[in-house]
Copies of this chain bind each other. A is one copy, B any other.
Amino acid sequence: MVAEITIQDVARRAGVSPSTVSNLLNGRTERMRPETLERVQRAIAQLGYSPNRTARHLKTGRVEMIGVIVPSVANPFYGAFASHVERAALKAGYQILLGNSERDPERERRYAEELWSHGIRGMIFGSSLLALTHLANLVEHGLSIVAFDRQAQAADALPIDSVSVDNVLAARLATDHLLKLGHRRIGFVTGPLRTVNRLNRLEGYEHALREFGIALDRELIWEKSLDQGFGDTEGVELGRCGARELLGKPNRPTALIAINDMYAFGAYAGARDLGLRVPTDVSVVGIDDGVLAEVVDPPLTTVRQPLCEMTQAAVDIIIRRIEGKTNGAPQHLTMKPELIVRKSTTSNL
* Chain A residues at the B interface, C-beta cutoff of 8 Å: 1-2, 48, 50-55, 57-58, 63, 72-76, 78-80, 82-83, 86, 95-100, 113-114, 116-119, 137, 140-142, 232-233, 236, 240, 265-266, 268-269, 272, 291-292, 294-297
Determine the distance from Cα of A2 to Cα of B137 in the docked complex, in whole angstroms: 10
Question: Which of A86, A98, A141 has the most chain B CB atoms closer than 10 A to its own CB?
Answer: A98
Can you tell how many copies of this chain the complex includes? 2
Determine the distance from Cα of A97 to Cα of B58 in the docked complex, in whole angstroms: 19
Task: Tell whether A98 pairs with B74 under 8 Å between CB atoms, given A48-B137, A141-B2, A292-B292.
Answer: no
- Return the chain B residue nearest A55 by Cβ: B58
Residues A50 and B117 in contact, CB atoms below 8 Å apart? yes
Residues B52 and A117 in contact, CB atoms below 8 Å apart? yes
If A1-B142, A2-B142 are given as contacts, then 5 extra A-B residue pairs at C-beta distance below 8 Å, sorted by A number, are A2-B141, A51-B117, A54-B63, A97-B97, A98-B98
Residues of B within 8 A of A52 (CB): 58, 117, 119
Give the shortest distance, in Å, between A81 (CB) and chain B (any CB): 9
27 CB contacts below 8 A, A to B, read A1-B142, A48-B137, A52-B58, A53-B117, A54-B58, A58-B58, A73-B73, A73-B98, A74-B76, A74-B79, A74-B80, A74-B83, A74-B291, A75-B79, A76-B76, A78-B79, A80-B232, A86-B100, A95-B114, A97-B98, A236-B291, A236-B295, A265-B296, A269-B294, A269-B295, A269-B297, A272-B297
Residues of B within 8 A of A58 (CB): 52, 54-55, 58
Give the shortest distance, in Å, between A115 (CB) and chain B (any CB): 8
**A83 partner, pick from B55, B232, B240, beta carbons under 8 A:** B232
Determine the distance from Cα of A108 to Cα of B264 in the docked complex, in whole angstroms: 35
Determine the distance from Cα of A73 to Cα of B50 in the docked complex, in whole angstroms: 28
Residues of B within 8 A of A74 (CB): 76, 79-80, 82-83, 291
Give the shortest distance, in Å, between A76 (CB) and chain B (any CB): 5
Residues of B within 8 A of A137 (CB): 48
- Return the chain B residue nearest A143 by Cβ: B1
